[in-house]
Amino acid sequence: MTAAPTEPTELTDPRTGRARGTAALSREREVAAAVAGARAALPGWSALTPKERGRRLDRLAALIEEHAEQYAAREQAGTGKPGTETAGEVEQVADLFRFYATAARARTAPASGHLVAGHESWVRWEPIGVVGVIVPWNYPLLMAAWRCAPALAAGNTVVAKPAETTPDSLELLAEHAALALGAGVLQSLPGDRRTGRLLVESAVDMVAFTGSGRAGADVAARAGTRRVSLELGGNAPAIVLPGAPADTCASLAEAATYNAGQSCAAPARVITLAENYEDTVAGLAAALGSRLAGRDFGPLNNADQAARYDRLVASSAAKRNFAAAIAQDAGGVQGHWRPARLLADLPYDDPAVTEEVFGPLLTVQQAESTEAALALANSVPQALAASVWTTDLGTGLDLVARLNAGEAWLNCHLVQTAELPHGGRGTSGHGTDLSVLALHEYQRPKTVTVRVTR
């Protein structure tokens, strides 16, 4: 179900900049009602066996698949993504709910048994309670599934707040969840930043937040001693060594422009050695030049993000600034379209290097040695994802092991699946998404010890 909010806000189409409808801004009354509904649904939902919850989550996955075109259309309305991207992401969402429908039944636990003389002990994994989920606009439905699916599978109920600009698909998910899971188990709470703050300060037992570092710090402060799971963005390096695979530049250009580069794990900072620097710059310029905004990827999501992107590009001291084209039928000059871009010959402290740009842009830096390249890769406070590109497997595996990142790839980038965990370090946060490990984000252990002798 979706809370019934009061204040409307205007929604715009990022492809055209034109109004496309309105959405509500939930306030104190709506937040309180949603949390109370989730609290009321908690005993019944958490009392189900993992098998019973799994069956209901599987039904939700089936509803997502049955209405895949409707989900994709809602995603496109809010993000402007091409149909190929939205269709693939809806498919991933259904797969995530199916994965967690069974993952909770294959639980692992610490040691149990006869650990203390005359006693038997074991560990119970229990749900935390009502989870407040706050997700961003870059992947409105997929990021919601990353958070909601393991939280629900672990026995929690969820109140999820979408970004102000992209409430569409999460509203539909909440409607289908009411049918498949039961009333109050998963609710959508549309709104803005104030709504998010109200949700964090409400009577939820845990907050799962995906967004910027500054907002994440505010969430942690407001949450106090309650459990908080944070995924706070990245600034991913890609170390390209001499003799890298032939498809390196094409692969990096595709990953950097997927979703218009609005992905926390997208490659952002390409680092080479002196001997392959010019070849890499030329290769990336050609590869990015073949990627057209409006044909191969969508626009930036909103006016604020477009303005921030423009400010970072304008402040860069790069001596080479290559921009690709925008497709002629991209949607008009009022849309938030930005071309694929390459910045080279720039200082190490350039804003486009030290900050997360969050757009279809790659920077290229040169290092004196492999060790210096690794140091550059690890030189920023964000530590979410990274990649290494080389045909020397030994060197590649060594660098992957020493990269400061929660997820690292060798000769690929942005390859993810439900079975493998994703999470950050440093200012990128400390939560775990995906895999069976994410279940423990939304559970707490209880040790039970029984005396069996007098």
Within 10 A of 275 (CB to CB), how many other CB atoms are there?
A: 11
DSSP conformational letter for 370: H
HSE, side-chain direction, 13 A CA sphere, residue 223: 24
157 forms beta bridges with 130
List the beta bridge partners of residue 297: 293
* 249 catalytically annotated: no
Specify whether the CB–CB gap between 169 and 155 falls below 8 A: no
Task: Say if residues 310 and 300 touch (Cβ distance below 8 Å).
Answer: no
Nearest one of 416, 308, 398 to 361, comparing CA atoms: 308
Residue 264 is among the residues annotated as catalytic for this protein? yes
Give CA angle at 129 (109, 177), nearest 5°: 100
CA angle 109, 115, 119 (to 5 degrees): 110
Q: What does the block give as tokens for 126?
A: 């229990």
Q: Are strands 206-210 and 267-273 parallel, antiparallel or unpaired?
A: unpaired
Cα 312-374-408 angle, rounded to 5 deg: 80
DSSP string for residues in 332-356: -TTS-----EEEES--TT-HHHHS-
Phi/psi at 257 (nearest 5 deg)?
-105, -10
**CA–CA gap between residue 209 and residue 134 (Å, rounded):** 5
Write the DSSP symbol of residue 165. T
Query: From the candidates 264, 356, 407, 441, which is the catalytic residue?
Result: 264
Residue 38, SS3 per DSSP: helix
| Widest Cα–Cα separation across the chain | 84
Active-site entry in 231, 254, 356, 441: 231
For the chain, report the end-to-end CA distance as a whole number of angstroms: 53
Per-state percent for the chain, helix, strand, coil, to nearest 5: 40, 25, 35
Burial class (CB within 10 angstroms; exposed 0-12, middle 13-18, buried 19+) of 328: exposed
What the block records as the tokens of 345 is 């010959």
The rounded distance, in Å, linking the Cα atoms of 405 and 423 is 8
Catalytic residues: 231, 264
